[in-house]
Amino acid sequence: MKKYLIFLLLPLFLSCKKEILIDYHEVEPLYVAEATLTQTGTNVRLSTTQNVTDNNPHSHIVENAIVVLSCKNYELKDTLHYTREGYYTSETVGSPGFSYDLDIYVNDRHFTSSSTMQEVPVVKSYRFVWQKMVSTRILYCDLRIQDDPDRDNYYLINFYRNNESYRWSVMNDVYNKGGELQKLIACSTERKMDENDSDALQENDSIRIEVRAIDQTSYDYFYSMQVMKSAGTNPLPNFTGGCLGYFSAYNYVILQSIFHRSQVEEK
């Protein structure tokens, strides 16, 4: 919540923003895995880190890995197929309550991670609302999820605008267990929208919101990624062996709409 306050209060005091040059240090590339197991299949994207000044994201994919998905619950052992651009895929789908292990073997390195598949999240509603702030208004996406009281629940919300990632956030149910969970996603100020700022939502933008029900290990990873900007730290390791990234087995729902400013509700 502190980041909201910074977002709200800084414009009152800050007088100038300018780009500065930093002589970034270079480090040896590290392996990065983004591995997901959902109700529709398994996807692993394997790459390496790139230097800060390196602007080519396509030259860091890893093509020579062996990626194995396994599940002790029903003796699953599935070696994923390399498809393209660092992606390893399988048609194996996850079952709620089952724990899955992922092993990645690449250039004499071995990385492992585990995750437990969650139930499909129940989204009650979402809408856009205005919130007055000093001399302007802030546009929020107000998302409501019905929590399941029988277990601890964790969620990741991915907000896409015109098929590009726009905002993301995590939450858990500790503050209203079994009740209606509310997530507010700050989009932009009304002033920025009026100025057609590239970061502001615009009329007829296509909106896609992906709500994932994730396990606690994945939540801890994403939560640490959420606070890293203010803390200047890396996300907590999710893989053993020094690989960056995460493996998450989750169920998800997708919400889609077209943004119309006239449909934004007053708080």
Partner 1 sequence: MALLPTYAIAQVDTTAVKEQELQEVSVNANSVQQRIKAVQIGAEQIQVKELTSAPALFGEVDIMRSLQLLPGVKSESDASSSFQVRGGTAAQNTILYDKAPVYNIGHLAGLFSAFNDNALASATLYKGLVPAQYGGASSAVLDIIGRTGRNDKWGGNASIGLISAKASVEGPIVKDKLKMLFNVRRSYIDMFMKMIKKYRDNSLYFFDTNLKLDWQINDRNKLYLSFFSSHDKTRLNDMVDMRWSNLAGSLTWGHDFRGLSSSQTTLYATSYQTNNDINISGLNIAYLGHIRHVGLRQNFQLMLGRHELNIGAQTMITDVKTAEWTRVNNHEKEQRKGWDNSAWLNWQFSPIRQLSASAGMRLTVFSEKCFVKTHVTIEPRISLAWQPSEWMSIKAGYSRTSQNIHALRNQNTTTPFDRYTISSKLVKPEVADQVSLGLFIMTPSQDYDFSLEGYYRHIDNVLDYRDGISFSSAIEIERLILSGEGRGYGVELCARKNKGKLTGWLSYTLSWSKTRIDGISQNQWYNANNDRRHDVNIVGRYKLSPAWTLNATWIFYSGQALTAPSAKYQMIDNYVYYYAERNGYRAPNYHRLDIGATWTKKIWKGRLTREWTFGIYNLYNRYNPYLINYEDNHDGQGTKANQYSLFGIVPSVALNLKF
- Which residues in 69-128 contact partner 1 (CB under 8 A)? none
Which 44-63 positions form the footprint of partner 1 (CB under 8 A)?
45, 47-53, 55-57, 60
> Which of 52, 45, 163, 173 lies closest to 121, judged by CA?
173
* One of 82, 87, 98, 168 touching partner 1 (CB under 8 A): 168
- Which residues touch 141 (CB under 8 Å, ≥6 apart)? 126, 127, 128, 159, 167, 184, 185, 187, 209
* One of 16, 75, 84, 262 touching partner 1 (CB under 8 A): 16
Which 174-213 positions form the footprint of partner 1 (CB under 8 A)?
174-177, 179, 182, 184
What count of Cα atoms within 13 Å lies in the side-chain half-sphere of residue 21?
1
Closer residue to partner 1 (CB): 17 or 84:
17
Which of 149-183 are b and which e, b meaning 16 or more Cβ less than 10 Å from the residue's Cβ? eeeebbbbbbbbbeeeebeebbbbbeeeeeeebeb
* One of 154, 160, 250, 259 touching partner 1 (CB under 8 A): 160
- Which residues touch 248 (CB under 8 Å, ≥6 apart)? 35, 36, 37, 115, 156, 212, 214, 215, 218, 221
* One of 66, 120, 227, 254 touching partner 1 (CB under 8 A): 227
> Can you state the angle between helices 2-13 and 216-231, rounded to 10 degrees?
20
150 binds partner 1 (CB under 8 A): no
Closer residue to partner 1 (CB): 116 or 169:
169
The maximal CA–CA distance of the chain, rounded, in angstroms, is 61
Q: Least separation, in Å, of the C-beta of 67 and partner 1?
A: 17
Binding mask 23-42 for partner 1 (x = CB under 8 A): -xxxx-xx-x-x--------
Q: Could you write out the three-class secondary structure of 77-121?
A: EEECEEEECCEEEECCCCCCCCEEEEEEEECCEEEEEEEECCCCC
Residue 206 backbone phi and psi in degrees, to 5? -85, 135
* One of 68, 76, 93, 225 touching partner 1 (CB under 8 A): 225
Q: Least separation, in Å, of the C-beta of 78 and partner 1?
A: 23
Q: Least separation, in Å, of the C-beta of 110 and partner 1?
A: 20
Q: Least separation, in Å, of the C-beta of 58 and partner 1?
A: 9
Closer residue to partner 1 (CB): 67 or 264:
264
Binding mask 233-252 for partner 1 (x = CB under 8 A): xxxx-------xxx------
Interface with partner 1 by CB under 8 A: which range of 77-85, 93-101, 114-122, 226-234? Answer: 226-234
